[in-house]
Amino acid sequence: MSWRGLRCLHVSELWIRKVRRRGFSSRLRERSAREIGGRTRKPQDEGTPAPRGSLQQGFLLRLTALAAAAAVLTACGRPTAGKPNAASTAGSAPQTRNANAVDDAVRSDGAVGSAGTDAAAVSKKQPVELQVFIAASLSPAMQEIAQHYMESNPDVKITFNADSSGKLQTQIEEGYDCDLFFSAGQKQMDALEQEGLLEDETRVNVLRNHLVVIARRDRGTKVQGLRTLSKAGSIAMADGSVPAGRYTRAALQNLGILESGRDPGSFTTREVSEALGGVTISEQSNVSKVLIAVLEGSCETGTTYLTDMHGYEDELQILEQVPDSLTGDIVYPAALVSGSADSAQAKQSAAKDFLQYLCSDEAGDVFTEYGFDMDNHSGT
């Protein structure tokens, strides 16, 4: 607050105190006169209303004080001729002009016009947080890739939501805040695209993976692959809404174990169990939980992705890498999720840049270390 404003507040406070002192002195004189005349009032009983005259007097004193304060503050707030006050210089109009200057200066290719260079620089330094939804099988690789990206882009923070692609699809449909979706299956991305929830022309196929049958190295098993799953004591398997569970059911269909002609994802865990001779199946909500169930020994075997084996080679063994001819191509598409009309341009730009980074050679090197195959980055 300026010195002028402080001085005005001080004057108004002195005025109020002066009025209050006058009121208090008046009441004190009345009380003294009553006591001297021998007519001192007894204290009022609790709950007994004060005399009407006292209430009116108190109300008039307060009203006078407030009116005086308002008059002083109004006079202080009146700007000097030719000089705008603080409220007008920091109002919405200057902020709107700055925002327009940045919008006019920053082009879609990242070029900055000379007129708005300073404003654009400030805009680029504003921190941006991206909400990125990723399939659970992507989590280890994406954590490392995001770390590399944020080191080069310190003003961008990436927050992951890792789960089954089916669950993530549902969350996006329900309106969860999501800037980029990286799925382990085309079906989920197809549904979101048909519902108009993806940004046009941003969908791209980034990776490929493979389905594997796994077991602990120190646990004897008669299972050699999908064809002999019925010999297992227990199986960890993702449900049909999870891409890995769907791919497993599609492979069992192509082997003749499950009936053909049905959507692979429509087979319940109970139906799969009956088709395998009644073997116990522990249904899991994503591939990470399948891996844990086998790793901890609660299930003898399970089906997951090749990439999930990264870092567990000493504890787990691959019994079979299921041919793509049985599962179909396991492709991981990514796309930007449609935002609100007033979404910050900086956030949209950062999301697009991060998606492009996922298709770069630098990110590809990390994905390859985790066992992924890079796709040709074609849109669908």
Task: Answer for the pair 58, 23: CB distance below 8 angstroms, yes or no.
Answer: yes
Are the folds of 127-208+332-374 and 211-321 the same?
yes
Report d(CA 94, CA 92) in Å as an integer.
6
The whole-angstrom separation of Cα 129 and Cα 154 is 11
User: With bands split at pLDDT 50, 70 and 90, how would you rate the model's confidence at 189?
Assistant: very high
d(CA 286, CA 245): 8
Residue type, 302: G
* pLDDT value, residue 285: 94
Q: Which helix (H) or strand (E) holds 239?
A: none
DSSP letters spanning 178-193: -SEEE-S-HHHHHHHH
Q: Phi first, then psi: what are they for 272, rounded to 5°?
A: -65, -40
Is residue 135 within 8 Å of residue 245, measured between CB atoms?
A: no
pLDDT for residue 12 is more than 80: no
Q: Are 286 and 245 in contact (CB under 8 A)?
A: no
Query: Using an 8 Å Cβ cutoff, are 162 and 139 in contact?
Result: yes
Which of 45-49, 278-282, 361-365 is least confident?
Answer: 45-49
Please, what is the average pLDDT of the chain?
A: 77
pLDDT band (50, 70, 90) for residue 342: low
| CA gap 363, 366 in Å, rounded | 5
Question: Nearest-CA neighbor of 286 among 162, 377, 175?
Answer: 162
User: Between helices 186-194 and 165-173, what is the axis angle to 10°?
Assistant: 10
For the chain, domain boundaries: 127-208+332-374, 211-321
Q: Which CATH architecture does the domain made up of 211-321 adopt?
A: 3-Layer(aba) Sandwich (3.40)
CB 225 within 8 A of CB 185: no
What are the tens digits of pLDDT across the range 236-293?
A: 999 999 999 999 999 999 999 999 999 999 999 999 999 999 999 999 999 999 999 9
Strand ranges inside the chain, DSSP E: 128-135, 156-163, 180-182, 204-209, 211-216, 234-238, 280-284, 301-305, 316-321, 330-336, 373-374
Is 245 exposed, middle or buried (CB count within 10 Å of its CB: 0-12, 13-18, 19+)? buried
3-state helix, strand, coil in the chain (%, to 5): 50, 15, 30
More confident residue, 160 or 117: 160
Please report the DSSP string for 77-143 in residue order: HSPPTT---HHHHTSHHHHHHHHHHHHHHB-TTS-B-GGGHHHHHHHHTS-EEEEEEEEGGGHHHHH
Amino acid in the structure at residue 358: L
> What pLDDT, on the 0 to 100 scale, is given for residue 267?
97
Whether the Cβ atoms of residue 269 and residue 252 lie closer than 8 Å to each other? no
Model confidence over 54-95: pLDDT tens digits? 444 444 445 444 454 445 444 444 443 333 333 333 333 333
| pLDDT for the residue 374 | 95
- pTM for the full predicted model: 0.65
Would the pLDDT of 130 be above 80? yes
Buried residues in 291-310 as b, exposed as e (16+ CB within 10 A): bebbbeeebbbbbbbbbbbe
The values of phi and psi at residue 171, to 5°, are -65, -40
pLDDT at position 50 is 42
CATH of 127-208+332-374, one of 3.60.15.10, 3.40.630.30, 3.40.190.10, 3.20.20.370: 3.40.190.10
